[in-house]
């Protein structure tokens, strides 16, 4: 019962997203916005696996998304658009980058880990900017979206919406099962006290590296979806600003549970979109609201019900 109560917010949110097209959010613009929010939520959930589960605060997580997106670009330029080829390549490219960079980065901790992941992300950003054959700084426009068995199913907005819902639900479930497993318990133990974990016979390094690679693979899948959603890919996908946004989504929603990343990502994207239509200098208000959320919501948006219940008991 306690487990069901803890996961209820994520389940309800996923059900709401599945029902959204039938309750007034079926317009093309809204479906596009929700797809973008869900894709970023996938990346945020994978980052939450690192931050909340392993205590690894990465400032280069957007690079995983970028590698997945550029895998789509390179194959699209070669006129390879079948999902059975494109998606595995996108996931493998991001996972490979995570493996190589994580093998180095995870040997550090704290601010050193933050800075080295930032450095790797910027290296990827500048490399993408130099790829003149794929648009360089100007980016690359896809010839077509990825096909499924020869059919352009992803070009249908409603079908793409449910692909995103399924991908987000699968990401959340996978990360949830990982954290609930023996693997996840070792990760959390190493996060709390690495020396104690080692004394018990568990070397934190391989567990953290595997978690980092898994998070990278999920980031690659979200990059694949992002490229198809926008039909345009640019080096900005790798930028530290995007990594910062993903990290803020996790913090805004709450790092205590994976559902916090879901709530934080959706709240971040929807608030950003609404404010941008209200005022030319909306970023000022947006920044202030985010700062206030951090100051007065220590457990993030996901902790609001608990704070209300605590205040009511008083």
Whether residue 212 contacts residue 178, with contact meaning beta carbons closer than 8 Å, is answered with no
The residue ranges of the chain whose pLDDT is under 50 are: 1-2
In angstroms, how far is CA 234 from the centroid of its own chain?
A: 18
- Those residues whose C-beta lies under 8 Å from the C-beta of residue 312, and which sit 6 or more positions away, are none
pLDDT digits (tens, 9 = 90+) for 115-167: 999 999 999 999 999 988 888 888 999 988 999 888 888 888 999 999 999 99
Domain 2-249, CATH: 1.10.3470
Give the residue from 46, 77, 55, 300 showing the smallest Cα distance to 191.
55
pLDDT digits (tens, 9 = 90+) for 85-126: 999 999 999 999 999 999 999 999 889 999 999 999 999 999
The residues spanned by each domain of the chain are 2-249
Whether residue 39 contacts residue 194, with contact meaning beta carbons closer than 8 Å, is answered with no
pLDDT the model gives residue 295: 79
């Amino acid at each position: 019962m306690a487990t069901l109560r803890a996961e209820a917010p994520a389940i309800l949110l996923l059900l709401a997203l599945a029902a959204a097209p039938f309750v007034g959010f079926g317009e093309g613009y809204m479906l596009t916005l929700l797809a973008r929010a869900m894709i970023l939520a996938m990346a945020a959930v994978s980052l939450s696996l690192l931050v909340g589960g392993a205590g690894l605060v990465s400032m280069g997580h957007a690079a995983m998304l970028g590698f997945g997106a550029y895998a789509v670009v390179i194959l699209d330029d070669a006129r390879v658009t079948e999902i059975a080829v494109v998606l595995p390549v996108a996931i493998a490219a991001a996972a490979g980058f995570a493996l190589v960079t994580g093998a180095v980065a995870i040997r550090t901790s704290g601010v050193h880990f933050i800075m080295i992941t930032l450095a790797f992300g910027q290296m990827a950003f500048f490399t993408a900017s130099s790829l003149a054959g794929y648009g360089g700084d100007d980016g690359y426009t896809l010839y077509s979206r990825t096909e499924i068995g020869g059919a352009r199913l992803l070009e249908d907005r409603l079908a793409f919406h449910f692909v995103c819902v399924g991908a987000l639900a699968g990401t959340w479930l996978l990360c949830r099962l990982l954290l609930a497993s023996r693997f996840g318990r070792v990760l959390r133990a190493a996060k709390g006290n690495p020396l104690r974990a080692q004394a018990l016979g568990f070397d934190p390094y391989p567990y953290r590296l595997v978690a980092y690679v898994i998070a990278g693979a999920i980031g690659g899948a979200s990059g694949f979806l992002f490229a198809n959603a926008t039909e345009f890919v640019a080096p900005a996908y790798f930028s530290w600003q995007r990594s910062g946004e993903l990290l803020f989504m996790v913090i805004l929603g709450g790092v205590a549970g994976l559902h916090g990343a879901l709530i934080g990502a959706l709240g971040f994207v929807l608030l950003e979109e609404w404010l941008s239509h209200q005022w030319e200098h909306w970023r000022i208000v947006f920044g202030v609201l985010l700062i206030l959320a951090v100051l007065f919501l220590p457990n993030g948006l996901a902790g609001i019900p608990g704070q209300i219940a605590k205040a009511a008991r008083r």
